[in-house]
Amino acid sequence: MNPDLAQERRRATFDPEQVTSLLYRGPENVRKRRYLQNAAIQDQVLRGSKPWAFQSRIEQYETALQMYIYMMNKLDEMGVTDPLERMYYQEAGAPHYYNPMALHTGMFIPSIEKQGTKEQKERWLPMARSLQLIGTYAQTEMGHGTFIRGLETTATYDPSSQEFVLNSPTVTSMKFWPGGLGKTSNCCLVMAQLITHGKKRGIHLFFVQIRDLKTHRHMPGVESGDIGPKFGFNSNDNGYLKLSNVRIPRENMLMRYSKVLEDGTYVPPTNQRIGYGTMVFVRAHIVTNSARGLSKACVIAIRYSAVRRQTEVSPGGPEAQIIDYQTQQYKLFPLLATAYAMYFTGRYAEDYYEQIASEIEAGNLESLNQLHAVCAGLKAFSTWACTAGIETCRLCCGGHGYSHASGIPKLYTYYTPGCTYEGENNVMMLQVARFLMKIYPDIKRGGPIHEFVQYLGADLTQKSCMTEEVALGCLLKAFQHRAARLLSDAAARIENLVRSGKSRQEAWDASTVALTWAAKAYCHTFVVRTFSQIVSDAAVDKSTKDVLTALCKLYAIDGIIENLGEFIEDGFFSPHQVSFLKNKLADLLAEIRPNAVALVDAFDYPDKTLDSCLGRYDGQVYPALYEYAKNSPFNEQEVLDSYHKFIKPAQTEQSQRAPMARL
């Protein structure tokens, strides 16, 4: 054990086990999580041969496929059915491979469960669970990902044969990007424009078999393939799909909420957007997923910062641990606080999703819009925080952060597409703004509105209650004030533009930056509120609560300092109060410092899950870096063939032109 890390753990003032329990919803869940992680770590088959970064793309794909199929079978044998528990096992078993069947379990099966009729579920789910059917969610096209009402793929109903005929009429209508579509899947859910009786009925989901179930060759009229190497996700065959007069039976349209009868009569759903449900489900889960990504980067960067020493503090004296530099703390501790904030908010989003989804199942769609706004906003807010935070963690590791040995570049390429997939983040923020503007008249009237948004109607002339003590309540009020004011500003801007003669749509289009500011401020407030509520309700001892409260305050104060203009432009904070906040920020960095390593230990990631030479629990960073370097295929031969092919001839040629000087 590295002595600095051992010392860090001794000096912690709280019990990390209590925090681990809080993060993973109780000791019983922690026990199960550890059991599953250990089972994966100890499994010889999952040990792997060479580091992923030294493998070709095809090798990465094959390794991922082999490992995931093995793990799925193991989990079935163990009787583990809960998706989260399955994820814990897989995360420890194959942390570096993006599962080529992730869309099968993450979107294909859930879509059938949520959008399929009883008969459709009985027909497809058993085959999907036993991998006879391997599916994906094929919505995005080459020409359209965001504007899904503009999708071009058509599904035209033919009453004479009671079939839908699917077509990709243009190059841009080709499905493009779906995970596992290229080579892995034999079927998919295709989002297509339904046409019955010659009329367009909007986009709907259709079950389409794309490959023969025995030979895996393409079905007639189907062309598909891999889209090529990407920034990350290279063990996944994100694919393209072109459909030419592909016929599927009428029963293959997912008909839980809308129907096409035998004669082609269209029965619409109560709300057209109910068919977007799988996206809302995934967005709710992306929040915790972002917390996972950012927390892993924090574990690596903070442990490494405790081990790494750089620069003599006094001449001839010992070099300081880099974690002792205030600038390093300022880069890392707010991110640590953010990772906690996102874990707690993710938990809230998932619970809220489950609550509203069951109301929807029971036929009450009243909260659908609000659920959509919350999930879209938190998805965007959390993925932005995660991506930016991972990059900062990488920079905090200096040169070694740039190596795949650190584990951080892999985290970055894995998590950054979260800002784009499942709804591009700016577009998601505009959906939040749309929701807020829609209820704005009710907010102003003081009409009946959900408690999430009540504060948005507060008196904007009020000033901050902040004192030198910096209470959490005052911090939350500051976020509420900023969100209310930015919303009011955006609304006023739109009204002014309308008064000046613009149409409402033109006024909206000329205000999307202000609307995005308002939406982000709303999401930020949501996170601060959730974090502070969970900390104040947490059943933990006083020392643990003190540490969590410090983290929560740091999250809030850092959010204010980073967005200071928005908090002071209307004079809400006085300059005096801003200096309280700046002083408190510095105090909190010092207060968190002795607990930083214990706080990352509390995330409870086994080394295998982190796959990082820098983030090892035992802190043996340097021998691990050396071992990793030795594994490079470059080092398999003392002299590479390329020396004889290129360097030697070049040297010979050069020496003939100018004879070598004596060394």
Ligand X SMILES: CC/C=C\C/C=C\C/C=C\C/C=C\C/C=C\CCCC(=O)SCCNC(=O)CCNC(=O)[C@H](O)C(C)(C)COP(=O)(O)OP(=O)(O)OC[C@H]1O[C@@H](n2cnc3c(N)ncnc32)[C@H](O)[C@@H]1OP(=O)(O)O
Ligand Y SMILES: Cc1cc2nc3c(=O)[nH]c(=O)nc-3n(C[C@H](O)[C@H](O)[C@H](O)COP(=O)(O)OP(=O)(O)OC[C@H]3O[C@@H](n4cnc5c(N)ncnc54)[C@H](O)[C@@H]3O)c2cc1C
Identify whether the C-beta of residue 556 lies closer than 8 Å to the C-beta of residue 472: yes
* Binding residues for ligand X, total number by CB under 6 A: 33
The interface partner of residue 434, options being ligand X, ligand Y, none and the CB cut-off 5 to 8 Å by kind, is ligand X
Q: Least CB distance from residue 433 to ligand X, whole Å?
A: 10
Per DSSP bridges, beta strands 187-196 and 199-209 are: antiparallel
Instruction: Return the residue of 347, 372, 379, 477 that touches ligand X, per CB under 6 A.
Output: 372
Q: Does 193 bind ligand Y (CB under 6 A)?
A: no
Q: How far apart are CA 178 and CA 139, in angstroms?
A: 7
Phi, psi of 201 (to 5 degrees): -115, 10
Q: In sequence order, what are the beta bridge partners of 321?
A: 309
Could you say which residues in the range 348-407 bind ligand Y, by CB under 6 A?
none
Least separation in angstroms between residue 89's CB and ligand Y is: 23
CA distance 120 to 103: 19
Binding mask 240-279 for ligand X (x = CB under 6 A): ---------------------------------x--x--x
From 239, 389, 417, 559, residue interacting with ligand Y (rule: CB under 6 A): 417
176 is an interface residue for ligand X by CB under 6 A: no
- Per-position b or e across 620-653, b if 16+ CB within 10 A of its CB: ebeebbeebeeeeeeeeeeeeeeeeeeeeeeeee
Which entry of ligand X, ligand Y, none binds 426, CB below 5 to 8 A by partner kind?
ligand Y
Do residues 584 and 549 make contact, with C-beta atoms less than 8 angstroms apart? no
Judged by CB under 6 A, the residue of 438, 444, 504, 644 near ligand X is 438
Q: Check binding of 289 to ligand X (CB under 6 A).
A: yes
Site for ligand Y in 50-89 (CB under 6 A): none
Compute the least distance from the CB of residue 596 to ligand X, in Å.
27
Give the chain's end-to-end CA distance (angstroms, integer): 45
Determine the Cα–Cα distance for residues 379 and 298; give it in Å rounded to an integer: 20
Which H/E stretch holds residue 507? helix 504-509
Which string of x and - marks every residue 450-489 that binds ligand Y (by CB under 6 A)? Answer: ----------------------------------------
Q: Which of 61, 68, 108, 137 binds ligand Y (CB under 6 A)?
A: 137
Please state the closest distance from residue 141 (CB atom) to ligand Y, in A. 8
DSSP of 117-177: -HHHHHHHHHHHHTTSS-EEEE--BSS-SS-GGG---EEEEETTTTEEEEE--SSTTSEE-
Calculate Rg over the CA atoms of the chain.
27
Among the listed ranges 84-92, 171-179, 369-377, 493-501, the one in contact with ligand Y (CB under 6 A) is 171-179
How far apart, in whole angstroms, are the C-alpha atoms of residue 551 and residue 343?
Answer: 13
251 contact choice in ligand X, ligand Y, none (CB below 5 to 8 Å, kind-dependent): none
Say if residue 140 carries a ligand binding annotation: yes
Residue 589 binding partner per list ligand Y, ligand X, none, with a CB distance cut-off of 5 to 8 Å that depends on partner kind:
none
99 binds ligand Y (CB under 6 A): no
Catalytic-role residue among 422, 506, 591, 636: 422
* DSSP β-ladder status, 154-158 and 187-196: parallel
Whether 422 sits among the annotated catalytic residues: the reply is yes
Task: Looking at residues 103 to 162 of the shown chain, list those that interact with ligand X (rule: CB under 6 A).
Answer: 106, 137, 139-140, 145-149
Q: How far is the CB of 286 from ligand X (least distance, A)?
A: 5
At a CB cut-off of 8 Å and minimum separation 6, what does 193 contact? 151, 152, 153, 154, 155, 200, 201, 202, 203
Q: Exactly one of 189, 282, 527, 596 binds ligand X (CB under 6 A); which one?
A: 282
C-alpha distances in Å from residue 189, one per residue of 90, 103, 146, 200: 25, 11, 18, 19
Residue of the chain from 139, 235, 305, 532 that contacts ligand Y (CB under 6 A): 139
Residue 232 known to bind ligand = no
DSSP structural state of residue 317: S
| Closer of 329 and 416 to ligand X (Cβ) | 416
CB of 427 to ligand Y, least distance (A): 5
Q: How many residues bind ligand Y (CB under 6 A)?
A: 23
106 binds, among ligand Y, ligand X, none (CB under 5 to 8 A by kind): ligand X
Whose Cβ is closer to ligand Y: residue 51's or residue 145's? 145
Q: Per rule CB under 6 A, is residue 140 in the interface with ligand Y?
A: yes
Q: List Cβ neighbours of 611 (8 Å cut-off, separation of 6 or more).
A: 95, 96, 407, 410
DSSP string, 406-453: GSHHHHHHHHGGGGTTTS-HHHHHHHHHHHHHHHHHHHHHT-S--HHH
By CB under 6 A, tell whether 532 contacts ligand X.
no
**Can residue 423 be called a binding residue for ligand Y (CB under 6 A)?**
yes
Residue entry with tokens 């977007």 = 276
Q: In this chain, which of 30, 41, 84, 561 binds ligand X, going by CB under 6 A? A: 84
Dihedral angle, C-alpha 127, 129, 131, 132, nearest 10 °: 0
In which element (H, E) is residue 505 found?
A: helix 504-509
**Which of the listed partners (ligand X, ligand Y, none) does 372 bind, with a CB threshold of 5 to 8 Å by partner kind?**
ligand X
- Residue 93: enclosing H or E segment and its boundaries? helix 83-93
**Beta strands 309-312; 319-321: pairing state:** antiparallel
Binding-site member from 13, 132, 146, 655 for ligand Y (CB under 6 A): 146
Per CB under 6 A, the list member of 61, 97, 177, 555 interacting with ligand Y is 177
Tokens of 234: 């290279």
| 238 binds, options ligand Y, ligand X, none, Cβ within 5 to 8 A by partner type | ligand Y
Contact between 280 and ligand X by CB under 6 A: the answer reads yes
Q: Under 8 Å CB-to-CB from 543, ≥6 apart: which residues?
A: 13, 14, 15
From the list ligand X, ligand Y, none, pick the one residue 437 interacts with, judged by a Cβ distance below 5 to 8 Å according to partner type: none
What's the min distance (Å) between Cβ of 214 and ligand X? 29
Task: Encode 51-72 in three state secondary structure.
Answer: CHHHCCHHHHHHHHHHHHHHHH
Per DSSP, the three-state class of 338 is: helix
Binding region for ligand Y (CB under 6 A): 103, 136-140, 144-146, 177-179, 233, 238, 417, 420-424, 426-427, 430
Active site residues: 422
Q: Indicate the annotated binding residues for FAD.
A: 140, 179
Q: Indicate the annotated binding residues.
A: 140, 179
Binding region for ligand X (CB under 6 A): 83-84, 87, 102, 106, 137, 139-140, 145-149, 179, 273, 276, 279-280, 282, 285-286, 289, 368-369, 372, 421-423, 427, 431, 434-435, 438
